[in-house]
Amino acid sequence: MMLAIRGLTKHFGGIRAVDGVDLTLAKGELVGLIGPNGSGKTTVFNLVTGICRPDGGSILFEEKSLVGLSPHRINRLGVARTFQNIRLFRNLTVMDNVRIAHHSHLEYGPVSALCRTGRFYREEIEIQEKVENLLSIFLLQNRKYEIAGSLPYGDQRKLEIARALATEPRVLLLDEPAAGMNPNEVGKLMEFILGMRERFRLTILLIEHQMRLVMGMCQRLAVMDFGQVIARGLPDEIRENSKVIEAYLGEDVPFE
């Protein structure tokens, strides 16, 4: 198992935001996490990546417990994420956004940096090449010196994924990567994510509202409502599940 979540629980005041969630991801799987707004999906992400500490349950990543580790330790173990409300380093260039993510793999020491040794320059060039490769996969190479906050929305989403990948993760958590994209862009994004998974041998957990994307590419789905997983299975099974349809009543009909 890449990621195994058991009985995960988190309370905020009297509200059980996450209430006994079980979820597993096998190596190379692409699993979708869906559910109405406020059902606790993002909180699951926050718990896995260490931004909040769970009140109960366990999170195992390659058999190592992530509970109680700080977010940067979790990232260094190989878990990266994107954010629902895009958290780029807005005032820095596209290039620097991705370069920062490389920091945990840095080899030169502070003295090398201060004295500008040959080793410093060699590694900086290596970093630059790596970043440019990554950016060209995302078709962002022509924007590398632009300020991240000035990119069009879709590019910002892509840049955030690129930045997450630069930390060289094995598990990637994507929080609504298609939010705010038009159908054309969503189509491209789907191809993209699938390509990514192939190329970097990723295991992906994905939160999404756009059912076309979820149904089209996820191998398995888990549906959350009021902090609990109310259904899980293949996309086609979920489509027919009465509990899921009930949970979504009153929201925009998700299945077109």
Partner 1 sequence: MAESLRNLARILAAYALLAGSIVLLAATGVVNPYWVQILELACVVAISAQGLNVIYGYTGLFSLGHAAFLGIGAYTAAYLMKTVGGQSQVLFFTALLAGGGAAAVIACLIGLPALRLTSDYLGIATLGFGIIMKVVFDNADSFLPELGGARGMTGITKMTTVPWVVFFLLVSLLIVRNTIHSSYGRAIISIREDEIAAETMGIDTFRYKMVGFVMGCAFAGVAGGLYAHLYAFLHPSNFDFFKSIDILVIVVLGGLGNMSGVLVASFGWIFLLEGLRVVLPPGYVELRWVLIPVLLIVTMLLRPQGLFGTREFPFLRGRLYR
Partner 2 sequence: MEYFAQQVINGLQLGFVYALIALGYTMVYGIVRLINFAHGDVFMIGAFIGFYTIERYHLPLALVFLSAVAGCTVLAVLIEQLAYRPLRHAPKIASLITAIGVSLFLEYFTSLRQVFGPNFYSFPRPFPVVIWEVGGILVTNIQAVILVVTVLCLLFLQFIVFRTKMGRGMRAVSYDYVTAGLMGVNVNRVISFTFGLGAALAGVGGVLYGIAYPQVNTFMGFMPGLKAFTAAVLGGIGNIPGAVLGALIMGQSETMVSAYLSSTYRDGIAFVILILVLLWKPTGILGAPRAEKV
Residues binding partner 1 (CB under 8 A): 49, 51, 70-72, 75-76, 80-81, 83, 87-92, 96, 99-104, 106, 108, 110, 113-118, 120-121, 124-125, 127-128, 163-164, 166-167
- E runs forming strands in 13-154: 15-25, 30-34, 56-61, 64-65, 79-81
**Rounded distance between C-alpha atoms, residue 57 and residue 219, angstroms:** 25
Shortest distance, position 82 Cβ to partner 2, whole Å = 12
* Residue among 39 and 167 whose Cβ is closer to partner 1: 167
Q: In angstroms, how far is the first alpha carbon of the chain from the final one?
A: 33
Shortest distance, position 74 Cβ to partner 1, whole Å = 8
Under rule CB under 8 A, residue 61 binds partner 2: no
Q: Identify the sign of the CA torsion 19, 237, 244, 252.
A: positive
Sole binder of partner 2 in the list 39, 42, 75, 82 (CB under 8 A): 42
- Any bridge partners for residue 116, and if so which? none
Sole binder of partner 2 in the list 46, 75, 156, 167 (CB under 8 A): 46
Under rule CB under 8 A, residue 83 binds partner 2: yes
* Residue among 128 and 141 whose Cβ is closer to partner 1: 128
Burial class (CB in 10 A: 0-12, 13-18, 19+), 218: buried
Burial class (CB in 10 A: 0-12, 13-18, 19+), 41: buried
* Residue among 1 and 92 whose Cβ is closer to partner 2: 92
- Any bridge partners for residue 23, and if so which? 5
- Any bridge partners for residue 65, and if so which? 60
Shortest distance, position 174 Cβ to partner 1, whole Å = 13
- Identify what 42 binds: partner 2, partner 1, none; CB under 5 to 8 Å per kind: partner 2
For binding to partner 2 (CB under 8 A), which residues are involved?
A: 42, 46, 51, 83, 85
